[in-house]
Structure 1
Amino acid sequence: MEENLLAVFNERDPQRRLTVVRRNYAPDVRWSDPEETVVGQDRLHEKAQELLEGPLSGLTFTQAGPVYQTANLGLLAFHIVPLDRAGAGSSAPLISGYDVAIVEDDVIAQLFTVIANAPH
């Protein structure tokens, strides 16, 4: 769950991100967020890049608590915060939410991103 958040959705380098995507997700992974559902590693990777270059440009994810896990279900809360001058996240979250993953055969088969608090 931590690698999903930090090494995929915080990774600005597309090649490093793709390496993690190939290792952590099923080939036919389904990722649903408030906008849409995408299917497959390549589409998940492309959408992450689109978000990082678009609405998440200048922002970063921070972990907002421990990973919770039961059976094949994982949950991790996050904050999205502005990057400071040193490239680290500031403390005031702009958006909060959580990722829920269903794991099959030791990889994420389904990922759900839920936004709990966002600017209007």
Structure 2
Amino acid sequence: MSQTETDTDYNSLLRSNLERVFNERDPERRAAALAELYVEDPIMFEPDGVVRGRDAIGAVAGKLLDQFGPTFSFSPDGAAVGHHGLAVLRWHAGPHGGPVMVTGADAAEFESGRIVRLWVLLDTPPSP
């Protein structure tokens, strides 16, 4: 039975994606979360490119965490908003207890309660 529009909890799904995929340092747990949260062949659009498939999305998440250090993480800002299969969650990221390094939003298209396409939208850094 497929999930209907009114059954989809966009806030929970996008928060789970942030926590269980993009904050998860263990590759096996990240892969399990990707299998649960994403369709079989998802696409992620980043400012610098397009990433296809769960494994590739997981690799991007792992590389980000490795690149920015052991306490770097993403945190949601407020609740996700969405309807008709599209939702957006704002977030910020940086080292635990440290300054915010980047802010942005994830916009996702859903099908049967799973992410089909994810757009990573980065805010323009403030001018010096």
Which structure 1 residue ranges, 4+ long, deviate > 4 Å from structure 2? Answer: none
Structure 2 match to 1:40: 53
**Per-residue CA shift, 1:33-87, capped at 9, x if unaligned?**
1121111111111111111111x32411111111101110011000002124xxx
Q: Could you say which structure has the larger radius of gyration?
A: 2
SS in 2 for 1:46: helix
2: distance between equivalents of 1:72 and 1:102? 6
2: distance between equivalents of 1:31 and 1:74? 14
Structure 1 match to 2:109: 102
Greater shift after overlay, 57-66 or 13-22? 57-66
Is 1:93–2:106 an aligned residue pair? Answer: no
- Report the count of equivalent residues: 113
Change (3 A) 1:119 1:11: farther
Structure 2 match to 1:15: 28
C-alpha deviation, 1:119, in angstroms: 7.2
2: distance between equivalents of 1:63 and 1:11? 15
Greater shift after overlay, 58-67 or 15-24? 58-67
Is 1:82–2:95 an aligned residue pair? Answer: yes
Identity of aligned residues (%): 29
- Scaled by the length of structure 1, the TM-score of the pair is 0.86
1:31 to 44, 61, 76: 44
2: distance between equivalents of 1:4 and 1:117? 23
- Scaled by the length of structure 2, the TM-score of the pair is 0.81
2: distance between equivalents of 1:118 and 1:18? 31
**Per-residue CA shift, 1:92-112, capped at 9, x if unaligned?**
422100000000122100000
2: distance between equivalents of 1:118 and 1:99? 17
Higher helix fraction (1 or 2): 2
2:118 to 108, 111, 118: 111
